Structure 1
Amino acid sequence: MTKEQSQSMLQALNPFMPGAGMRPPELVGREKDLEIIDRMIARVKLHAMDRGIIFSGLRGVGKTVLLVACQELVERQGMTTARIEATGDADTDYDAMFGALSRAMIMSGHGSLFSSIQNKLANIESISLNFHGIGASLNTNTQDRPGTNSMRLELLIESIAQQLQKKDSGLFLFIDEFQEMASEPLGTLISLQHRMGQDSLPFYIIGAGLPNLPGVLSRSKSYAERLFEYRIIGQLSAEDTAEGFQKPAAREGRPFQDDALEELVKVSQGYPYFIQAYGKAAWNASDSSPIALRAVKESEADARAELDEGLHASRWQRATVAGREYLAAMAAISGDEPSSTSEVARSLGKNTQQASSIRQSLIELGLIYSPARGKVAFTVPDMGEFILRASPASGQTYDGKRQPER
């Protein structure tokens, strides 16, 4: 085998693979979150009530991976689960929920029950809530009537939860990018979570989204802050970060030397996506075992390029020209720390009110969020550093690619 073939074989065994929502080879630092899900399952089996859970954090911290791990744990315990990714379009999100619930009931062996429930709800036109219960009127052509989706979803989930409770089971709806959900289905789901709790029915929303998600929920329904357990998903500890690098590497017979591991912990900053990018680059750059510090150092530029492509450049390109100017001002003022909205506006030659529409558009794009009144911050780790590093003076464009030498 030639040296090139040998190196190609080693790279094929690389356990690290950065990607959106891809399960890492070692899920570390999230034990407490999984324990909370385990507790919820136990309470469902005992017909005891609990709250839903909301995971929020920056991009690249592993929220989607955690959501999937929680779903797998719930399913292994015999619960019924459905998962969607919110899009911001009400009809699309309703369709996704109906489809996910249908698949969930069929996959969990309750297909005939689901068909029976669907047949009863197919022609619902209107619904009225009163102190004596739920009243529904029927009509044969109601699919396009306003509010029909909301009514159908409420009655569908309630009917499923009632039947699952008889089997000591429950329904868990997992929602990724929850902050993107349109206001109408969002309000419906929060109200439904509230009512299911009041009626002691086992339905739980497990949502994940950006740091602004708790605020989005509370603005939709003021009581949302009491319906969920809020969990901030952040950077991993140094110990967990080291484990995230060393365990998968050692399993493949190529662990990192101590000084190499120390450098990886430092440059990855505890972000799970960064662990995959730096781990992949260091593994591919090394032809020895254990992997030495030299390989880590030599591969850091490749890892940063991977992060630029996977996290930064595409988000920069989504912004308008005015939005990019706003983002660049944030980076120049505070780097990756939160920036004052008034300072950003001044640097753009505008007052705060004039800059507010640009700021709001960037928030709606999921590029920034407001961690406190009068403050804005990037939703992507190292976005400020990327913007500063990829300035024209550095010889790079904002898409992270080198400009040709002149």
Structure 2
Amino acid sequence: MSARLSHPAVALVIAFLTVILLGTGLLMLPASQAEGLATPFFTALFTATSAVCVTGLVLVDTGTYWSGLGQAVIMGLFQLGGFGMMTSATMLGLLVNRQLRLRSRLMLQAETHSLALGDVRSVARLVLVVTVTVELIGALLLAGRFKAGYDMPWREALWQGLFHSVSAFNNAGFSTWPDSMTRFSADAWVLVPLMLCIIIGGLGFPVLHEVLAMRRRSGVASIHTTLTLWGSGALIVGGTLAFLWAEAGNAATFGALDAPRQVLAALFVSVSARTAGFNIVDVGAFTVESLNLHYLLMFIGGGSAGTAGGVKVTTFFVLLLIVWSEIRGHQDVEFRGRRISTSAQRQALTILVLGAGTVVLATLALVPMVALPYELVLFEVIAAFSTVGLSPGTTVQMPQAGQWVLIVLMFLGRVGVVTLAAAIATNHARRPYRFPEEKPIVG
């Protein structure tokens, strides 16, 4: 039992549960509520879980229900959740690489690019520097725009800029405005800084570290970095074009905007849909095509060891490479002159199957509880599991039993995918025998 509890993946789960419970206690204090009343336990628990798991689904309006202290607690929770996940996931990845080092030192050196498991302080320090730098730059840009363009007092502009910059970098999706970012749907000076924060935070620290290292010295990017960068770019561009096609004629979403602002809105929706959770139009007014595209983008999510949720970009594109290799009749799965290990292929398949299974089971559990269209229930489930704060307004319409399901989904989607990947990767035991091979008929 003590060995299991000391496993890093289990320690990560316990740490996140502890932060959620502490956040719940702080949010229950009368000082955290705008009217000075004690917040009900379930409302505080749901909000704390959503904040720590950087989801953004809420039962009450963040800007009016919570006091300044309550909003600061929420910001602190999703800052801890994002920073903790980036650091923890990176260290768990290095733990896996340390075990692989016994088999291949050269492979370790190529994959980690000078990162070492013993250098815990350096990893945490680098994550902290990147986090603080990006968030402060974003906060200053947003605060300047809020002051100059909307005549906010400097104190309010700085607070709103900081809150939304931290929320964007951590892909949390929390906003102090009841309409999220809808009031800025045509303002590039607000949307572009938010998108940059979302993208940088969602790439993952290993990618950011490798990109910074490659600037100092020439080198070839790893498969992980290449798949994350090119895959993220393809999803953003493809999502933008698809949203333009689906919503350009929809008067309730993009139809009232001119062409340049339609492109800006489609780009922001494409970026936000992959895990950030900010909305600039009414989600419930999207066409069926856009809802289906949201399912895909939310489920894929962002980069590994980052602030984004989902099954991750690399998981999705490794599976595509497996399919492409099988179609071409290749024995190995290859990319840019390298083979992708069999263990990585099996991990990707396992994460996909368990993630999809979780979504299906949760949807089946929620459908009998609510009198809502099936597509909206599915949207809510995927948004919770992929830690995306987007909602067509169904979160508050669910009974408390359904909201408990959402809490479990947010936690599993945020912590479960990382711990599952680490547990699988660190649980490779070599047996001294192999059974005879048999090939079942597939398809």
| Larger fraction in strand | 1
| TM-score for the superposition, normalised by structure 2 | 0.25
Q: Whose Rg is larger?
A: 1
